[in-house]
Amino acid sequence: MSSGFLVRRDSLALFLIGFVTFALLYAVQALLPAFASDFQVSAADSALALSVSTGMLALSILLSAVVASRMDRRRLMLGAILAATLLNGLSAMSTQWWQVLICRALMGACLGAVPATAMAYLGDTVSGRQLARAMGLYVAGTAMGGMTGRVGIALVSDPWGWRAGLLGMSILCLLALAGMVRMMPADDARSGAGQLQARLPLLPWRELLIHPRLSRLFACGGLASGIFVTAYNYASFHLLGEPFNLRPAQVGLIFLCYLFGVASSGFSGRLVEASGSARVLRGACVLTAVGVGLSLTLHMAAFVLGLGLMTAGFFALHAVCSGLVGKESGPHKAQATSIYLLAYYIGSSVLGYAGGWLWGHGGWPWLCGGLFAALAVFMALLRTLERQPETMLNGMRPEAVLSDAWNAK
């Protein structure tokens, strides 16, 4: 069998890993109104079904970054996905709200083993010339999984209920897992650097956390994800009520706005090369703010356009911020990426839940006010980033890596 065919099989398996991970994680976002109705909880409490998953995922990412360097990463990823799939099915059979939350929290902890492990697996099993293509397929899988999970489960749960939707998602993921088992080669690679990192995992963390630019980029990632998740968490409630009065299946179709983000994430990279990161981040903030403003109107087309602009703005913010983290962190990319993901998911968990308080007290207008406030904080962080001196981590050469990326024209 040719090596090219093996690479294609391996890359397709990684696409499926990204797809399943994000489909499981975000499928419940379309079900929050159903949870609120069936379990008699508030909108904010229903959002905990997503927040506890992303919160536990954030915490487990740090542990997984260490464990992944000591284990067979193929086995770790496949085992984590199997456990998460079974927990997702178990949540569909829960009769109490606390049971749903426990299943979702444990599922998030399992899925935390996947992102960092997938990055390490890619580096050791795919050649340098094929790495960019394989990484692209993995990221595409996460985007498609996030969108398909939300839309598909809404279409299934409308006629048959949310329990059928979650069970159907678990069946789909089990089928995808069977394909992954057949397509993924064994993970035999073990590097000396990886073993050293496993023995001394904490050395760079302090430097990364107090780094004047990285700490702000971590905060920016958390704010951006919080804005995005909050908007989608409560958009479903907004569209089910006056003046729209949509059915759950129709509401689920709003997640097709995710396509705006898939397009903008790639386009933002080309804009950075032409105009610099700072300008792209400012432009993405303005785009997001325009989207929030449009969503305040009572016309369906304007609301959908506004949500699409918010989605495009978020993906651009996330793409540029995560790229800058990689450029600034030098030889500590793995640890910096783990901290960025930690901030990213904590932001989505905390703001996603806090947005429920605004929704409960003032509906969509109050929620939008909170989104505007979060964008203002993001812009303030952006201004402080631009004023930071071009410093690097202790022990590294004082090269202005971020300055080159930030001001590239």
Residues 114 and 1 in one domain: yes
Residues 234 and 171 in one domain: no
- Distance CA(286)–CA(39), nearest Å, equals 38
Residues 125 and 221 in one domain: no
Residues 128 and 217 in one domain: no
Residues 394 and 267 in one domain: yes
DSSP 193: H
Q: How do residues 202-260 score in pLDDT, each as one tens digit? A: 556 677 777 778 889 999 999 999 999 999 999 999 999 989 999 888 888 888 888 88
What pLDDT was estimated at residue 403? 40
pTM for the model stands at 0.79
Give domain status of residue 192, yes or no: no
Residues 174 and 253 in one domain: no
- Nearest partner of 237 among 149, 362, 104, 81, judged by Cα: 362
* CATH number for position 283: 1.20.1250.20
- Structure tokens, 379: 């812009």
**Comparison of pLDDT for 61 and 32, the residue scoring more:** 32
Give domain status of residue 186, yes or no: no
DSSP secondary structure letters along 118-186: HHHHHHHHS-HHHHHHHHHHHHHHHHHHHHHHHHHHHHHHHHH-HHHHHHHHHHHHHHHHHHHHHHPPP
Residues 90 and 215 in one domain: no
Query: What is residue 50's three-state secondary structure?
Result: helix
Alpha-carbon distances, residue 59 vs 55, 117, 204, 215 (angstroms): 7, 14, 18, 18
User: Cα Rg for the chain, rounded, in angstroms?
Assistant: 21
Give domain status of residue 221, yes or no: yes
Residues 125 and 210 in one domain: no
| Structural domain span for residue 244 | 201-409
Residues 213 and 70 in one domain: no
Give domain status of residue 125, yes or no: yes
Domain count, the chain: 2
Mean pLDDT of 148-153: 87
pLDDT at 325 > cutoff 90? no
pLDDT at 404 > cutoff 50? no
Give domain status of residue 190, yes or no: no
pLDDT at 180 > cutoff 90? no
